Each structure stands twice: as structure tokens, then as C-alpha cells.
Amino acid sequence: MGHIVKTPEPLESSYVPVSLVNRREQLEALREGVVFPVENGVSSNMFIYGQSGTGKTVTLKFLSGLESGCFFHYENAISAGSFKRIVVNLLNSLGKQISEKLPYDSIFRSLKRSTEKPIILIIDECLNLVKTDPDGLYNLLRAAEIYDIHMGMLLASVDNPALHMASREIRRLGIFNEMKFHKYSTEDLYEIVEDRGRISLFDGALTPEIIEGIASISSRSGSARMAIEILQKAAFMSEYENSRSITMENVRRASSMINPYITQSKLMELDMKELLILLSLCQVLEKNGEATMDGITDQIRINFEAGHQDPPDVSLIYRAIRHLESLDIVESSRESSGRSTGVKKRFFMNDVPVSILIEKIYEIIE
């Protein structure tokens, strides 16, 4: 038996701690904006968005564990695949088996009969589904009104879903609330790592200097996911070396093994065209070390052809790149060429090993 890891579970990313660092305001807003109204028979929905590791999932799970008169149901949109499937799964968890082939109105009528309790439906990682199944979203958001169901929804994703809906779509949905989750500060990350270390590691295994080191490395992304992953990897490395405490060298090696900018969940939220554009950018960067718009358009054409997609127009490419930038996958700088042609945009990816990213994209596309 080693000297470092006492209980490994709190080092897993799915772990929900007994208290959250710096998310009291968000929890309050969720209770006030959604839980209380729904408890009192008023339907209310909210979009929650923010970069990877800002605590969206853990805050929503924490919320469902708090005392309330509501029935909470959690779904991951990526694994569910459609909004209808999500309602069918919700019915399942209420003890009712129903076919997905039935139309929405019979499914919702059945839902109305299934429980007296107001329902709060949490749909995590929803961005792709919002884009691919707008009618399903419309049906769900309107269910409360049309079928008189006491239900509220919390939809979470890395990017504001409203930015990916046509204005017609937004008008159709009416008013909804939204809340952004901000990146964690170095102090927040320190507290999160300290808490997690206290419950999972033996006394003395994690010193304040090491916590500081992890907090400082992960503060650029502001991601608690990154901080905890570094802690986990560094702890197991140190355990393997049979040492008594985690060293800064363990931390450095651990952080070089992970990359917060290319988490699977981020890539899964991209549609096929965006994946192909990102792939093209990576391929150009792999060859040249830098990329300009002119440089990537040829590569994009080749990849779209190979992927049996119609060639994209410039506005689609720009929109996709803006999305990649908002996800912190791609960065860009403007450079004046010194001539009348004006500014030129250059794209790059800090810290991202493009060859690994290319492999990941191929995995998803295939």
C-alpha cells in the first residue's frame, strides 16, 4: 500500500463534493429563477453556459441534492441523442415504460399522469441537440403551457445555445433566462484542490506549495476540471514512485499529459462541418506552424470533398472559426500586412498538440 492516495473517488471528474467553492450565487440564482417558481406551479427554464471545468455539471447535480419539493431528473444530451428520448428516459425513471415512436402529445399526457410532483429536467451538454433537434426543444419548452405539466428545464453547455439558434427559433421559444459560469480564479482553484486533496489523500501527501503550483497552472484556463485532473495524475505518479509526498516535477509531468482545451465534451459539441474545418486548420498548422485564411481554405475544400459535404462559403467558415475561438480551441491574431490590403488574421493553437487533436477528430468523424 502506498503513502499518497487514501480514497480515489473524489479525484474522479464525476464526483460531487459536499460543498462547492464559489458557486453560492449561481445556486441561489438557480433556486430563485427555476426551482421556487416550478415548486409553486410556475414553469421556468434556464440556459447555463460557460467554459469546460467551470462547474456547470457539478453545480446542477449539487442543486438536485438540495431539499426541495421537486423531482429532479438528469440527462446527458449527447448520450440521449434526441429530446424525445430524454422525455422517454424521464418517464422510465418515474417507473413508466413508453415507446419513443409515440407522438409528443401522448408522451406528455403520459408524463402528466405519472407524477404529482413538479419536475425539474436537467439537460447537460445540450448544444448539439439544440442545433439538430430544434422542434424537440420547442416541444419540451412549451410542454408546461400546452399540456399543463409542472416542469422546468435547466439546459447546460459550453457555449450559449441562443447564439446557435436562428432568430425565428428564438422568437418561437419566447422568453428564457440564461446564466454564464465564469472561469475560476487562482484562489478558487487553490481551495478546490485543497478540499479534494484533504478527502482523497493521506496527511502530508499534498503541501501548500504543490496546491499553489496546481492552482497557478490551471488558472489560465480557469478550469477546476484541469486542476483536479492534474492532482489525480500527479498523485498516482507519486504513489507509483513510492514517495511520501507529491513533487512539483509530478505536477509538471501530469499537466503535460492533459490538455484542457481539447476535452472530449468540447469536440462532441461541434457539428460535422465545424469538425472538418478544425481538422483542416490542424493539418495546415502541422505542416506550417501557422495558418492564414487563404492557407486553410484549400485544405477545407479537400476535407469537405472527402467527407461528402457541399463546399462551405466564407461566412460559414468564419462562423465556425468564431465558435472554435469561443470554445478556446483556436486563437487568432490580427496583423497588418503593411500594405493597402489591410489586416490579415492568423490562427494558432496554444499548447495544443495538433497531431493528437487530428487523431481525436478522426475518431469522432469515423
Ligand X SMILES: Nc1ncnc2c1ncn2[C@@H]1O[C@H](COP(=O)(O)OP(=O)(O)OP(=O)(O)O)[C@@H](O)[C@H]1O
Interface residue list for ligand X (CB under 6 A): 13, 15, 17, 20-23, 52-58, 158, 192, 224-225, 228, 263, 265
Is 34 buried (19+), middle (13-18) or exposed (0-12) by CB count in 10 A? Answer: buried
84 binds, among ligand X, Mg ion, none (CB under 5 to 8 A by kind): none
211 binds, among ligand X, Mg ion, none (CB under 5 to 8 A by kind): none
The set of residues, in sequence order, having a beta carbon less than 8 Å from that of 353 and lying 6+ positions away, is 259
Return the number of the residue (158 or 349) whose C-beta is nearest ligand X.
158
User: Across the chain, which distance is largest between two alpha carbons, in Å?
Assistant: 70
Radius of gyration of the chain (CA): 23
Return the number of the residue (56 or 73) whose C-beta is nearest ligand X.
56
CB 177 within 8 A of CB 162: no
Return the number of the residue (57 or 114) whose C-beta is nearest Mg ion.
57
Q: How far is the CB of 235 from Mg ion (least distance, A)?
A: 22
Q: How far is the CB of 124 from ligand X (least distance, A)?
A: 7
Return the number of the residue (45 or 57) whose C-beta is nearest Mg ion.
57
63 binds, among ligand X, Mg ion, none (CB under 5 to 8 A by kind): none
What cell does 46 get? 434556464
74 binds, among ligand X, Mg ion, none (CB under 5 to 8 A by kind): none
**Nearest residue to the partner ligand X, using Cβ:** 55
Q: How far is the CB of 179 from Mg ion (least distance, A)?
A: 14
Q: In this chain, which of 51, 54, 57, 139 binds Mg ion, going by CB under 5 A?
A: 57
Q: How far is the CB of 327 from ligand X (least distance, A)?
A: 10
The helix (run of H) or strand (run of E) holding residue 57 is: helix 56-65
Q: How far is the CB of 154 from ligand X (least distance, A)?
A: 12
Q: Where are the beta strands (DSSP E) in 3-54?
A: 45-49
CB 286 within 8 A of CB 354: yes
The set of residues, in sequence order, having a beta carbon less than 8 Å from that of 100 and lying 6+ positions away, is 82, 84, 85, 88
Reduced to 3 states, what is the DSSP secondary structure of residue 331? strand
The amino acid at 212: E
Return the number of the residue (54 or 299) whose C-beta is nearest Mg ion.
54
54 binds, among Mg ion, ligand X, none (CB under 5 to 8 A by kind): ligand X
Q: How far is the CB of 257 from ligand X (least distance, A)?
A: 17
Return the number of the residue (49 or 304) whose C-beta is nearest Mg ion.
49
CB 228 within 8 A of CB 324: no
Q: Where are the beta strands (DSSP E) in the chain?
A: 45-49, 71-76, 119-124, 151-157, 177-180, 291-292, 331-336, 343-348
21 binds, among Mg ion, ligand X, none (CB under 5 to 8 A by kind): ligand X
Q: How far apart are the first and last CA of the chain?
A: 42
**Nearest residue to the partner Mg ion, using Cβ:** 57
- How far apart (Å, rounded) are the C-alpha atoms in residues 362 and 349? 18
Return the number of the residue (33 or 222) whose C-beta is nearest ligand X.
222
Q: State the residues that interact with Mg ion by CB under 5 A.
A: 57
